[in-house]
Amino acid sequence: MKNIVSKKLLLGAFVLPVLFSGTVAADDQPEAYASDRRGGVARDSSGDCWRTGYWTPAMAIYECDPDLMPKPEKKAAAPQPTPAPAVVPAPSIEPEKIALSADELFDFDKAVLKPGGKQSLDDLVSKLDGVNYDTIVAIGYADRLGSDSYNKKLSLRRAEAVKAYLVREKGIPADKVFVDGKGEANPVTGDTCKGNKKTKALVECLQPDRRVEVEVAGTRATVQ
């Protein structure tokens, strides 16, 4: 029995110096557990920690001797800050453009509103109910018959006639209605109407070019 004990002590004396990083000096803090090459606690094949000869119960650590140590308390996770509500960008409002035929608003080569033209503008104003509009722009156009300067003035007079009706008869603030005359610019007929002589057929063909475009920019109120 004595021989067996002496062999175990001899084996311990051989193994432990290999696991220790060096001899413990008198002034150094003694190591309670052997360390492996990575600096962690060395364990045997069963997963138990290697205790050094300096180990005492007072030096026990929970991961190696849980029975000797109280279970460490888990730190409560720090409360996460409440995220700020996402800011939803306001939708961009595209201006609504309405093209009104000048032949419905005016007689040919005229800038005086016809009854049918007034009805068209009445319908337009009714569509503005519930709309918080910033501006109303009336742009007059003419066909290519006649001189450029004449058509420019004619298109502007038509736009001004539209503004006058909206302001005087429909109560639209004058500072919210802007007018312009583009003359022969931007023909919608393109090159589909042939000739330059003012014939009945050509006048009828160019009818879409004689127009007033009314553009309303604003937002429409919605019930949530």
Answer CATH for 96-220 from 3.90.1210.10, 3.30.1330.60, 3.90.1310.10, 3.40.50.1220 = 3.30.1330.60
pLDDT attached to residue 156:
94
For residue 159, name the pLDDT band (cuts at 50, 70, 90): very high
Where helices occur in 44-114 by DSSP H, the ranges are 102-105
Q: For 89-123, how does the pLDDT look when each residue is reduced to its tens digit (9 = 90+)? A: 555 455 666 667 767 787 778 888 888 888 989 98
Look up residue 115 and give its amino acid: P
User: Would you call 192 helix, strand, or coil by DSSP?
Assistant: coil
The pTM of the full predicted model, rounded to 2 decimals, is 0.54
Tokens 């060395």, located at residue:
42
Q: For 174-199, how does the pLDDT look when each residue is reduced to its tens digit (9 = 90+)? A: 999 999 999 999 998 988 999 888 89
Other beta carbons less than 10 A from residue 4's beta carbon: 8
**Domain map of the chain by residue range?**
2-68, 96-220
Q: For 16-57, how does the pLDDT look when each residue is reduced to its tens digit (9 = 90+)? A: 333 333 444 444 556 777 777 777 787 776 677 877 777 787
